[in-house]
Amino acid sequence: MRNHTTDEQMLEDLFAEAQSQPAEPSPAFMARVLADADEEQAGFATAELANAPAATGFSLRAVFATLGGWPALGGLVTATAVGIWLGTTSLTGVSDTAATYLYGDSALGGLNADYAWLDTMGDA
C-alpha cells in the first residue's frame, strides 16, 4: 500500500519547482513570432482594400447577403410563420396529437388503474 502523504508531498515539491522557473519564451523566439505576425498582417491590409465593395448606401441585396442569401431567408420566413401560428392559436390540438402519439388512444393509458378516474375528466 502506498503512503499517500509521501506522494502528495512529492507532488507539492514538483509543483513548487515548476512554479519557481519562469515560463517565458526566449527573446529570439518572440522576435520570430512577431516578425511573422507583422508579415501576415501586412498582407491583410492590401487584400481588404482590393476586395472592399464600393459604399453605395442602403441596399436590400446587401441585407440578404448578410443574412445568408435566399435559402437562409426562406428558413427565417418559415420559422416566423410557424412562430406566429403557434403563438396565435391554442395548442389543444397539438397536445392531443402528442398525447395520442406518446400514449396511444388515451392520454392516460400509461398510468396505473389508481388514476383511471382522471381519464374521464373533461367528458360532459
**CA angle, corner 69, sides to 67 and 70, nearest 5?**
120
* Residue-number span of the structural domain to which 49 is assigned: 24-53
Identify whether 33 is part of a domain: yes
5 within domain boundaries: no
Residue 111 near residue 104, CB atoms below 8 Å:
no
End-to-end Cα, the chain, rounded Å: 74
Residue 77: per-residue pLDDT = 93
Which ranges of 52-122 would DSSP assign to H, the alpha helix? 60-67, 70-88, 92-103
Split into its structural domains, the chain has a count of: 1
Q: Confirm whether 43 is domain-assigned.
A: yes
- Where does the pLDDT of residue 4 fall: very low under 50, low under 70, confident under 90, or very high at 90 and above? low
Cβ atoms within 10 Å, residue 119? 13
Distance CA 77, CA 91 (A): 21
Mean pLDDT of the chain: 77
3-state secondary structure of 46: helix
The answer to whether position 113 is within a domain reads no
pLDDT digits (tens, 9 = 90+) for 65-79: 888 888 888 999 999
- The yes-or-no verdict on residue 45 having pLDDT over 60 is yes
Tens of pLDDT, residue by residue over 85-120, are 888 876 666 667 776 766 666 555 555 566 666 667
**pLDDT for position 42:** 80
105 within domain boundaries = no
